Amino acid sequence: MRRDYYSELKPEIKIKAKRNLVYVTIFSIIMLFAGLTSAYIVSMGDSFWLKYPLPDAFYISTAIIILSSISLQLAIFFIKRGNQLLLKILVSLTFLLGIGFVYFQFQGYKGLMDKGAYAVNNHIIITEGRYGDYYLIKYKGSFIDVNGNDYLLNGKKLTQEEMKNLQKFMDQFIGTDKKIPEKIENYGNDFVLYYNNQPLSLIDGKLIGSDGKEIQYVDFIRLKDLAENIHLGRGDFFMKGEIGKDFNIYFKGKQLEYKDRNLIYEGKKLDKFLQIKAMETADTASSYLYIITFLHLLHVLVTLIYMLRMTIRSFSGKFTSENHLSLSLGAIFWHFLGLLWLYLLLFLLFIH
């Protein structure tokens, strides 16, 4: 009698244990992301902080994960009524939508990198190879100027053709480590390099300063860095586009303006110390964005393996109207991941 009681109770204990395991896992993940988003807010503090719109791919992935939750819930609805056909279709659809979510997340990362937002080794303001710090370029008799990420000639933004010509000329120096190319095309005709405000002459494949000496190794590195920035269309900022339109820089929660290659805070140019600090500040905002979203993506990828198993089981007839606990528990976790992504998206929209 006592043995029968325990044998009947054991399945209920297993079910409860499995549910509790899911809930404990969910709670742990909530604490993880609560910590990360809190750290994000704290890190903003009095730091320089970069803000920009999220790529459209993230919004597409949001719609996909919502649809996947709906399809999975419908699968449970129909298996409770013994409809095996719709179960197979809807569980398979959920798995495919999950793959779609992953795909568009990576498209979102590609969009971020195309904008100039990277996970690591990135700054807000260009420091290495910044135009004008060491090198100037004269194009058809006039000096090129930089304002933000715009390259200007006689006060006007370079046309697409002029920018392509500039990039083609500077591309010759990309990869330069110890010496310049043996032949530099178009030097002295359309383009002339100035180093420390002095023109460089091209003599026997060497760039010679006004003192008659060849520029040094460190000068080659600076030239290479400048060439890479021009190739990528960067002027003063790592982020591509126009400050105030395509991205913004904040300090102590207030948006900075930009004028004459200087950051303006509350109507005044930042003092020299803060200007230097701004140039040394890493793009922590983008690093946090990658960490937070990729950690979520990792949880989705792991859950997709589980969903693949559920898809296979649905086709093998393992689920019935009375036996579908593993599918229900998987659905709880999948819905949680969907809600977590919505929270992260809203957080990034209103904070990032």
pLDDT in tens, 236-288: 999 999 999 999 999 988 999 999 888 999 889 988 888 889 988 999 999 99
Q: How far apart (Å, rounded) are the C-alpha atoms in residues 73 and 70?
A: 5
247 domain-assigned: no
Contacts 24+ apart (CB under 8 A), 301-309: 301/102, 303/98, 303/330, 303/333, 303/334, 303/337, 304/95, 304/98, 304/99, 304/102, 306/330, 306/333, 307/91, 307/94, 307/95, 307/98, 307/334, 308/95
264 domain-assigned: no
**pLDDT of 181 above 90:** no
Note the pLDDT tens digit of each residue in 317-341: 888 888 888 999 999 999 999 999 9
129 domain-assigned: no
Domain count for the chain:
2
pLDDT at 6: 46
Last residue of a domain, one of 213, 236, 259: 236
User: Residues 231, 177: one domain?
Assistant: yes
267 domain-assigned: no
pLDDT at 13: 81
276 domain-assigned: no
256 domain-assigned: no
Last residue of a domain, one of 174, 206, 236: 236
Of 223, 164, 226, residue with least CA distance to 190: 164
278 domain-assigned: no
Q: How far apart (Å, rounded) are the C-alpha atoms in residues 198 and 286?
A: 38
Q: How far apart (Å, rounded) are the C-alpha atoms in residues 344 and 9?
A: 40
- Mean pLDDT in residue range 165-187: 80
Look up the domain containing 173 and give its range: 135-236
User: Residues 166, 208: one domain?
Assistant: yes
- Mean pLDDT in residue range 206-235: 90
> pLDDT band at 44, cuts 50/70/90?
confident
User: Residues 13, 76: one domain?
Assistant: yes
Neighbouring-strand partners of residue 195: 135, 198
User: Residues 140, 201: one domain?
Assistant: yes
218 vs 135, higher pLDDT: 135
Tokens of 305: 């393996």
pLDDT at 144: 97
Tell me how far the alpha carbon of residue 189 is from its chain's centroid.
40
